[in-house]
Amino acid sequence: GQNIDQPTEMTATEGAIVQINCTYQTSGFNGLFWYQQHAGEAPTFLSYNVLDGLEEKGRFSSFLSRSKGYSYLLLKELQMKDSASYLCAVSPGYSSASKIIFGSGTRLSIRP
C-alpha cells in the first residue's frame, strides 16, 4: 500500500524558522514533491527531490533521505502569508502517466 504521513497542524512565529516533516512508504519511488495550498485555492508547486540531500530555493528548502523514507520542508524568515497547508506528495511510478499521491497535509499557522 501507499502511506504518506505528516503532522496535521503546526504553529510558528513570524520571522522564525519551521520544519515540516514527511515520512513515506510507497510501492515505488520516483520523486517527492512539496506543494503549498491556501484555503480555497489550488496547490502551487514548491519543490521536487529525487536524490538524497538538500535543495534550497530562496526561503524554502527541501530535504530527502530515500533510505529513511523521509523528507522535510524548511521555511525560513516566516511571513504571515506563509500561513497555508503544505502537502507532501510522492510519485511512486515511472512514467508521465504515473499518479502522484498526496499526504494529508500540514496546516501551518503563523502568529505575529
For another protein, the binding residues (CB under 8 A) are 30-31, 33, 40-45, 48, 50, 85, 87, 89, 91, 94-105, 107
Task: Give the nearest distance from C-beta 86 to another protein in angstroms.
Answer: 10
Task: Give the nearest distance from C-beta 22 to another protein in angstroms.
Answer: 12
Give the contacts of 63 (CB within 8 A, at least 6 positions apart).
Answer: 49, 53, 54, 55, 71, 72, 74
Return the number of the residue (16 or 99) whose C-beta is nearest another protein. Answer: 99
Alpha-carbon dihedral angle through residues 13, 60, 8, 29, given to the nearest 10 degrees: -170
Task: Give the nearest distance from C-beta 104 to another protein in angstroms.
Answer: 5
Return the number of the residue (74 or 100) whose C-beta is nearest another protein. Answer: 100
CA 37 to chain CA centroid, Å, is 11
Break the chain down into helix, strand, coil percent, rounded to 5.
Answer: 5, 55, 45
Task: Give the nearest distance from C-beta 38 to another protein in angstroms.
Answer: 11
Return the number of the residue (50 or 54) whose C-beta is nearest another protein. Answer: 50
Task: Please tell me the distance from the alpha carbon of residue 18 to that of residue 15, in angstroms, as a whole number.
Answer: 10
Return the number of the residue (73 or 101) whose C-beta is nearest another protein. Answer: 101
